Every structure is written in C-alpha cells, then in structure tokens.
Structure 1
Amino acid sequence: MAACRQAAEPQEDLTIEVYVDDQQLEQRTLANEEVVGESLLDVMADNFKIETDGHYIQAIDGYREDPQAKRWWRYEVNQEASDMPLDQVQIEAGDHFVWKLEKIN
C-alpha cells in the first residue's frame, strides 16, 4: 500500500526564486532526482553565477551585497527564514528556496 500512496502523491520539484528589492529576477525549477541530497551551495553554484565566502552568498548573477547600504542576501526555505551556511543545507524533495537582496536595518 505504501508504494501506491507514494505514486498517488508525487513530490513537487525544487524551486528557487531570486528577488532584488521585492522584484522577482528569476525562478527556476529543478527536478528532484537531479538535486536531492546535494548541498544548497552546490545547487546554487551549478545554476546561478554566485560569489560566496564558502558558506554564505555575497552575490547572485551580479547583484552584490552592500554593507555600507546595509543590503544583504537572505534566504527562506519552505517559507521559513534561515541563516544556516549553504554548505550545510541538504536539498530535500520539493524544497522551495526564496533569495532576497534587501536592506536590513
């Protein structure tokens, strides 16, 4: 029965959205079988032009953090804010990531 239940309820694929100042720049959907078990750092590096310090994003597709203007990249996983280093986040089936570059006071 469990096999029938899983077939009836397929997992959605991974979605990554990127926003700058509340304007959506990009939305990508990636097949679960290609990314499940990978780190978020690896998936971002494979699908976007990024700059990192090895753990955190500093730029996505040319949009860079600006400490003087207090503009930082932050991300949400499945509608929950996260500050976990990217190399420690393991992709799970159906994850939804939203990246935002915005002013944080």
Structure 2
Amino acid sequence: MTLTRFGFNIPSFTYPGVDDSDMFSAVCAAAATAENSGFDSLWVMDHFHQIPPMGPDHEPMLEPYTLLAGLAPWTRTARLGALVTGVTYRNPALLAKTV
C-alpha cells in the first residue's frame, strides 16, 4: 500500500505550438503521460474563463465533466475529478445527474 499519492492538475488546456482544434488531443496526451509517469489522479478545473495566474482570461476552456468522460478511455488506473465546481453555473439537478 502506498501512503503517498500524487495528483496531476491540468490548469490550462492550451499548449505552445498546438492549435485550438488539437486541444483535446493534447490534453489526452498530457493525461496519459501523467498516468504513465506514476500520478494517481488527474484533475481539471470548472471555470468559464481562465483564472489569471494560469493564463489570460480569453484562453479557451473545456467543460470539465465532458472532458473527464473524454479522458477516461486514455487512462487505465488514474482517478479523474474536477478540482472545483461552480454550483451556480448549472441547474443543480443537471449537475447532480452529470456528476
């Protein structure tokens, strides 16, 4: 049993030299690399706009729950989750059903 576990946060969905149309593929590759490097969990944010320390507010953001479903086939053992969820963004019943 491992006492220490490490999670990998994906704070930005843009990568230098990667076109926005290839953003999802780049995030999937990053997730697979993180898992293969020994990270136990992968985390994404739930923000409509990028937060200032991570990038400019106009940076493209992906919807976290759809992204997590898309990442699932790219991973084998890592736990997937959203760091935070803006509960006022969505209808509570829809959010409960989604999660």
Shared fold, TM over 0.5: no
Higher relative contact order by CA 8 Å / sep ≥ 6: 1 or 2? 1
TM-score, normalised by the number of residues in structure 1 = 0.24
Higher-strand-fraction structure: 1
TM-score, normalised by the number of residues in structure 2 = 0.25
Higher-helix-fraction structure: 2
Q: Which structure's CA Rg is the greater one?
A: 1
